[in-house]
């Protein structure tokens, strides 16, 4: 009888010890974070020197245009609360440009020629 009670006591202590174990929660690094919402991919249109970007929904975004030959930025702006972006690159050198769009952490790129 004593052996049975002793066995039951040890089993109960094992369950209590297991229930009180602290486990580490893995925190993701910034580059491992998965976005919680999905945005439609933006669309961009060129009409001469005018660039029109449609985001699909209102969001905070950063738009940068870089001259591909020189690597110099030709345009950079942060937009908040808009779904349609329109800007003119009049006066910029002719050549190939890279369009960089960052919408709340999602990055998109494109190329065009002036």
pLDDT average, residue stretch 67-95: 93
- Does residue 13 or residue 101 have the better pLDDT? 101
Containing domain of residue 96, as a range?
3-33+42-113
| CATH number of the domain residue 91 falls in | 2.60.40.3080
Residue 114: predicted pLDDT = 86
In whole angstroms, what is the distance from residue 100 CA to residue 49 CA? 16
What's the Rg (C-alpha) of the chain?
Answer: 28
Residue 20: predicted pLDDT = 52
Residue 33: predicted pLDDT = 46
- What pTM was estimated for this model as a whole? 0.65
Whole-number Cα distances in Å, 78 to 60, 100, 101: 7, 12, 10
Residue 56: predicted pLDDT = 78
- Which of 85, 60, 63 is closest to 73 using CA atoms? 63
Domain count along the chain: 1
């Amino acid at each position: 009888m004593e052996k049975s009670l002793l066995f039951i006591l040890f089993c109960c202590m094992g369950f209590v010890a297991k229930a009180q174990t602290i486990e580490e929660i893995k925190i993701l690094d910034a580059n491992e974070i998965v976005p919680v919402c999905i945005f439609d991919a933006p669309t961009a249109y060129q009409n001469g020197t005018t660039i029109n970007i449609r985001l699909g929904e209102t969001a905070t975004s950063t738009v940068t245009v870089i001259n591909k030959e020189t690597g110099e930025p030709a345009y950079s702006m942060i937009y908040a609360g808009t779904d349609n972006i329109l800007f003119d690159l009049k006066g910029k050198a002719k050549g190939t440009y890279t369009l960089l769009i960052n919408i709340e952490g999602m990055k998109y790129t494109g190329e065009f020629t002036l």
